[in-house]
Structure 1
Amino acid sequence: MAGQRVKSAYRTPCEQCPLRGFPHFREFKPEELAFISDFKTGELTVDAGATLLVEGAHSAHLYTVLSGWGFRYKMLDDGRRQILNYMMPGDLVGLQGSLMGEMQHSVEALSPVTLCVFERDRLMSIYREHPDLAFDTTWIAAREERILDENLLSIGRRSALERAAYLLAFLHQRAVSLKLFDAQRTVMPITQQHVADTLGLSIVHTNKTLKKLSERNLIRWMDRGCTVLDDRGLCEIAGWEGYHERNRPFL
């Protein structure tokens, strides 16, 4: 397995979780916060490139991303990869394996990632004891489906230029909403191969497509990342209204 996994001795108290300060995350009730604090068993830190979960594996845990970037993907027998979605802070990882017995996709870290760790065996206690949290878990799964719907629309009906514009605008706007950029850090940690594997394009076609966006001064591409210069321009090319999320739950 690529990358390093470290079980952190330090555990961020749920009461001091940095995600609670974002306005689009809903606030927990006191009894819910107490339950989540008890539900959480620790934190896991992994390097960029580390495999978090493997397709077909049975995991005893599920996770919430506390910091960093990652992606979900499936592989064909000949090594071709399809990236399904990207994960950022607040996203729940491993729910599919918890409910279906084994993972149907793999998960890899794009950057150093810190995860809150939860015991899978205690998941059903959410449904028994905390119906609002159970609804939140269902909402998170439905949101993932909505994102996958948009990705499928891109692959099936958008042109290569429109696909790339949508993907980069979506990732950029999500990252902005989570304050993942600052004056020193404005680059999304994705390569052209990641983009190609997301859009279902060859690396040559992807390179030509990204060059067109760069020539229009919409993006700046670097060796291992991309900076978006004009996300509204990308949205116009993609025919996408932009990222809107209010009062979103997380665990």
Structure 2
Amino acid sequence: MTVTRCDTCPLRSMEIFVPFDPQELEFMLKFKSGELVVDRGTTILIEGSKSPQLFTVLRGMATRYKTLEDGSRQVINFAMPGDFLGLQAGVIGAMRHSVEASTDMVLCVFKREEIWSVFRNHPSRAFDLTWISAVEEHFLGETVATLGQRDGLQRVAWALFRLFKRLRAVKLGTKDTVPLPFRQQDLADALGLSLVHTNKTLAELRQRKIANWARGVLEVMDADQLQAVAMIEEPKEERRPLM
């Protein structure tokens, strides 16, 4: 397999990501240690583990989740191209959640032991890692607000709108459709809903000709209405760092 070099990375050309300056690019060429190809269903990171590696999603999607004491699973969120995986283990020593590949994936690999060199020698990249962590905290806060204050229809609309916008930002799909390979049970777990309730809510969105999720594809027929149902005031999309 040919390894994608950072200077030819297809993600870097996407408007959603902040471009590297020459020094950052030189550092990233050294920081990246290789690539990992994983099959759908592979557990990439395990809760409680001290993985020696960190990853950036180059292609594919994954599910982040926690396993509770009774064996049930709480989906935290979903990983898309450009997302950074394993920062918890890199900073606090062990993962506090697991990550499972929802599709076949290609991951850029970085050595966890090198993470401290970022903070020592590359302050701009260290700030980017801090930014990534802050955005994840903000998203979890928005998720808590969704679980606490949005009803079932609003929760599903919120999740579909967020996923649609994120996937379009990384050039997946078309103007109105994006691949969405997750299970409906995954969405139900993420939103604190039963599978039955989730299915009924998806059916309502389909009947109202707002959105239709079927056979791994999300079609958004009326993005404005989906946003309105989700009660989202959408600010301008912020450019995000790419590790």
So what's the TM-score if we normalise by structure 2? 0.95
Contact 2:167 2:178 in 1 (8 A): no
Give the deviation of 1:246 after TM superposition. Answer: 2.8
Whether 1:93 and 2:52 are equivalent positions in the alignment is: no
Give the deviation of 1:20 after TM superposition. Answer: 0.9
Equivalent residue in structure 2 for 1:139, among 117, 131, 134: 131
Distance 1:37 1:14 in 2: 6
Q: Deviations over 1:106-140 (max 9, x none)?
A: 00111111110000001010111110111011001
- How many residues are aligned here? 243
Distance 1:24 1:75 in 2: 32
Distance 1:99 1:69 in 2: 23
Distance 2:214 2:227 in 1: 21
Give the deviation of 1:239 after TM superposition. Answer: 0.8
For the residue of structure 2 that corresponds to 1:201, the secondary structure is coil
For the residue of structure 2 that corresponds to 1:186, the secondary structure is strand
One-letter identity of the residue aligned with 1:90: G
Unaligned runs of 5+ in 1: 1-8
Q: Deviations over 1:175-231 (max 9, x none)?
A: 011111148973311221111111111111111111111111112232444322222
Give the deviation of 1:49 after TM superposition. Answer: 1.6
Whether 1:27 and 2:12 are equivalent positions in the alignment is: no
1:191 counterpart residue number? 183
1:113 counterpart residue number? 105
Distance 2:114 2:123 in 1: 14
One-letter identity of the residue aligned with 2:102: L
For the residue of structure 1 that corresponds to 2:54, the secondary structure is strand
1:11 counterpart residue number? 3
Q: Deviations over 1:65-102 (max 9, x none)?
A: 11111121111122221111111111110000111111
Contact 1:53 1:94 in 2 (8 A): yes
Contact 1:191 1:223 in 2 (8 A): no
One-letter identity of the residue aligned with 1:11: V
Unaligned runs of 5+ in 2: none
2:230 counterpart residue number? 238
Deviates more, 1:52-61 or 1:210-219: 210-219
- What's the Cα RMSD here? 1.7
Distance 1:182 1:161 in 2: 25
Contact 2:32 2:108 in 1 (8 A): yes
For the residue of structure 1 that corresponds to 2:179, the secondary structure is coil
Distance 2:177 2:106 in 1: 18
Distance 1:50 1:103 in 2: 16
Equivalent residue in structure 2 for 1:74, among 66, 76, 97: 66
Contact 2:16 2:170 in 1 (8 A): no
Whether 1:157 and 2:149 are equivalent positions in the alignment is: yes
One-letter identity of the residue aligned with 1:85: N
Equivalent residue in structure 2 for 1:51, among 43, 52, 55: 43
Whether 1:181 and 2:156 are equivalent positions in the alignment is: no
Identity %: 45
Contact 1:218 1:234 in 2 (8 A): yes
One-letter identity of the residue aligned with 1:102: A
One-letter identity of the residue aligned with 1:194: D
Contact 1:110 1:190 in 2 (8 A): yes
Whether 1:124 and 2:116 are equivalent positions in the alignment is: yes
One-letter identity of the residue aligned with 1:201: L
